[in-house]
Amino acid sequence: MDMVNTAEVLARLQRAAKEVRILEVWSLDPSVDSRKEKVKKSALYPFHDNYSIGRAELQGDEAIHKLLLSIIRSIANGPDTNDLCFDPRHGLRIYDQKGFIDVVVCYECLQGVIYDGKNEMWFRTSADAQADFDAVFAQLGLKKAN
C-alpha cells in the first residue's frame, strides 16, 4: 500500500464534496474477512474486501457537507506515520454526476483509501473526524462494529 500525495487526495475529496449528489454511509465490520470466510450474503454487503453491517443514505446538503469537510480536515491534519492494522469500520460512497468514489477509513491505524474507478489512493488521517462519523452512524441507526 503506497501512500500518495496528500494534496492529490484532498483535491479529489474536495472535488467530490462540491459535486456530491448522494452520500451513502457504510458501517464496516473488520472481523469478517471477505476473502477467507463464507458470509451470509443477505446480511452483509461486500465493500472493497470488507463487509458492511449496514448502509444508509445521509440526507441534507448541510449534513453531507459537514461530514465531508470534517473528513477532509482530518486528512489534512493526518500524522506522518501510522500503524499497519487497517481494520476499517467507516466507509462512504460519494455519488456525483460522473459516477462515484468510495472512501474506507480505519481510525485505529489512522489510514484510509479512496477507490476512484480502478485507482486506489491511500492516505493518512487524524482521528478528528471519527466522532462526526460515529454521530452520523447514530443518526442513521447504523451499528458500529466492535
Report the alpha-carbon distance of residue 14 to residue 83 in Å, rounded: 26
3-class DSSP state for residue 96? strand
User: What residue spans of the chain are helical by DSSP H?
Assistant: 6-19, 61-76, 130-140
What is the topology classification, in CATH, of domain 6-140?
Dna Ligase; domain 1 (3.30.1490)
Query: What's the pLDDT at 99?
Result: 93
Query: What's the pLDDT at 138?
Result: 96
- Largest Cα separation within the chain, whole Å, is 40
Per-residue pLDDT of the chain (146 residues; tens, 9 = 90+): 556 688 999 999 999 999 999 999 999 998 866 555 555 554 567 888 888 889 999 999 999 999 999 999 999 998 887 778 899 999 999 999 889 999 999 999 999 999 998 889 999 999 999 999 999 999 999 999 98
Report the alpha-carbon distance of residue 34 to residue 48 in Å, rounded: 9
Query: What's the pLDDT at 97?
Result: 86
Cell readout for 53 is 453491517
Query: What's the pLDDT at 42?
Result: 45
Q: How many whole angstroms from its chain centre is CA 55?
A: 12
Cell readout for 119 is 485507482
* Domain extents in the chain: 6-140
The residue length of the chain stands at 146
Q: What residues contact residue 86 under an 8 Å CB cut-off, 6+ apart?
A: 1, 106, 109, 111
